[in-house]
Amino acid sequence: MTPSRRDIQPAQPSAKARPHPLQESQLSAFWLIAAVGLCFGLYFVLRYGGRWGEIDGVAFAGIIARMQLEGRIDYAGAYPHGYAYATWVNMLSYFTGRPIGELMQVYTPILGNVFLGIFGFAAFRRWLGSDRLGLIAASTLFLVPELVFTVSRGNHEKVTVALTLLASLSLLKGFMEAQARNWGLFAAWVAVYYLVTFSLATLNVFFGSSFIVASTVALVFALLFLGMRRHPLSQLRPAAQRLALRVGASWLLVLLVMWYIYPIAGQNLEVLKTALAKLGALALSFTPESNPYESTATDWASPWVYKLLSSFRWILFLGSFAAWLMLLVPTLRTPERASIPRVFLLALYGGFGLQLSAAIPIDLVGLEAGSNLQVRMYTYFAVFAAPLFTLGLSRLLGSSPWRWQAAGAAAVILAVLSLLKATLDPLVSNRWMHYSAGEIEAIHTWSERERESVLWVGPETRLYDAYYMEYNFGPSNLNDLDVARRNPFTFHTLNSSLKQANSIAWGFPRSTWLLGDQVYDNGEAQIYHRSPQTPFQR
């Protein structure tokens, strides 16, 4: 049983027009979810004072800076999956005068979380037909730490996730306006859909196409379902035909981007061929080339901490799947009674669930493009799991006030866990992403004064990522930063209290290099020169 809407009262004559009650509730819900997104974004930024770095942010900081330097999108070494995100951040940098690193560390995480909230509410209130349920579903997104981290870190997904939500809204509204024969609004929403689809393809051909893939899967199942029925369904058959036209045109836009506008993105076809070949080898040998899930044992304070932080992932998955089955069975039995929004939501959930399932074996084959596809696909799956989870939760809790109060208290606890995991807080994580100003100052001073030298910055990539976020092209004067002592010509090492604390968290012993000569100290970080071991070392 879901909470009912307030009745709309007839307008009373007044010298001043009164706001519509429904508009008031929508506006209140909009500002509330925007405030939730703002709080999450501010916490992500202020937790470390804007000093954080991670591998995707490092990659995009260099890509964006290179595009700014080259003045074009198709330069040597350009991002092979899309150009729109780098263009967007460059535009923000030109308009605001702020450096790229500062934009990515301070401002875009806030934008990403606000986008998640307001686009989620705008889409879910239409999918669920209720402002209150739409607000609950949009708030549920922030309980998924993987999703909060995704829209906060320095890559394109803060925009890709928001536009995926907008694509779902424009698709639904287009069908609803066509059903109501409002052809002007129908044309407007169709134009919005194709504009968003094109933008998604230019952001990232692979992840931007995930909504089209889900729509294609939904179309295939719809055609199979309609083909097995003896009697035509007057409501679903025209909808399937329009969906087929929309899906076909969407794939044409993707091909337009890959083959004409941004030919570099054609490399994705080679990645797809490699994935198919490796999947075939995996099916024959049953021997995975890599296991990306082993790192969970070392990246976190303990396996139990990781399970606690990831608990809502399973709650959302199991809850949404149960709600999907609960709604799918009657929809298949009596499809003529099903509403278009409900049918599309069930179909898109299944389409993203199928992509999530396919990501697991792809991770196991160890593609060069990355081994975390399941985690990244889960964020898009969670976007469409949230409204179904909310529907199931509303039926489970009913109209009992104390049940909703208990659910609210649980949500607060889950929100805290989400922030702890999304920020890789030192209380729970070993893979820290924050750094101090003194550490960056020490590395930069060494880079400016040395030439063709190598500095060891630690057994993991924390300070390497940090310096590249601050200085997009890395050290100057042909210097280099070494991680895990891979370079035999490394004769300098950096030390700080933060680095020592992180080494203790990882279980690494204190470096013997600190017995060498101290050549720099700013009070917060020091640089040591390793004592020569042979007459040929300096």
pLDDT at position 18: 47
pLDDT at position 505: 86
* Contact (Cβ atoms closer than 8 angstroms) between residue 389 and residue 319: yes
12 in a domain, yes or no? no
Q: Based on the domain organization, do 498 and 351 belong to the same domain?
A: no
Q: How far is CA 450 from CA 315, 462, 479, in A?
A: 53, 22, 7
The last residue of one of the domains, among 422, 453, 473, is: 422
pLDDT-derived band at 140 (thresholds 50, 70, 90) equals very high
pLDDT tens digits for 81-102? 899 999 999 999 999 999 999 9
The last residue of one of the domains, among 368, 394, 422, is: 422
pLDDT tens digits for 446-499? 999 999 899 989 888 899 999 999 998 888 888 899 887 667 778 888 999 999
Q: How far is CA 400 from CA 132, 137, 390, 395, in A?
A: 15, 19, 16, 11
Look up the domain containing 150 and give its range. 21-422
2 in a domain, yes or no? no
- CA triple 286-292-294, angle to 5 deg: 100
pLDDT-derived band at 4 (thresholds 50, 70, 90) equals very low
Q: Average pLDDT in the 21-41 region?
A: 86
The residue type of 89 is V
- CA triple 380-381-384, angle to 5 deg: 95
163 in a domain, yes or no? yes
Q: Based on the domain organization, do 390 and 456 belong to the same domain?
A: no
* Contact (Cβ atoms closer than 8 angstroms) between residue 355 and residue 313: no
* Contact (Cβ atoms closer than 8 angstroms) between residue 199 and residue 248: no
Number of domains within the chain: 2
Q: Based on the domain organization, do 369 and 472 belong to the same domain?
A: no
Q: Which tokens in the block code for residue 414? A: 């889950």
Average pLDDT over all residues of the chain: 85
Q: Based on the domain organization, do 370 and 322 belong to the same domain?
A: yes
- Look at residue 537 and tell me whether its pLDDT is greater than 80: no
264 in a domain, yes or no? yes
Q: Based on the domain organization, do 220 and 336 belong to the same domain?
A: yes
7 in a domain, yes or no? no
- CA triple 102-103-106, angle to 5 deg: 70
128 in a domain, yes or no? yes
* Contact (Cβ atoms closer than 8 angstroms) between residue 5 and residue 130: yes
Q: How does 387-425 read in b/e, with b if 16+ C-beta sit within 10 Å? A: bbbbbbbbeebeeeeeebeeeeeebeebbebbbbbbbbb
Q: Based on the domain organization, do 409 and 482 belong to the same domain?
A: no
272 in a domain, yes or no? yes
Q: Based on the domain organization, do 93 and 116 belong to the same domain?
A: yes
pLDDT at position 9: 39
Q: DSSP assignment of 54-94, as one string?
A: -HHHHHHHHHHHHHHHHTSSS-TT--TT-SHHHHHHHHHHH
Q: DSSP assignment of 252-296, as one string?
A: HHHHHIIIII-GGGGHHHHHHHHHHHHHHHHHHH---S--TTTTH
Cα–Cα distance, 88 to 111 (Å, whole number): 13
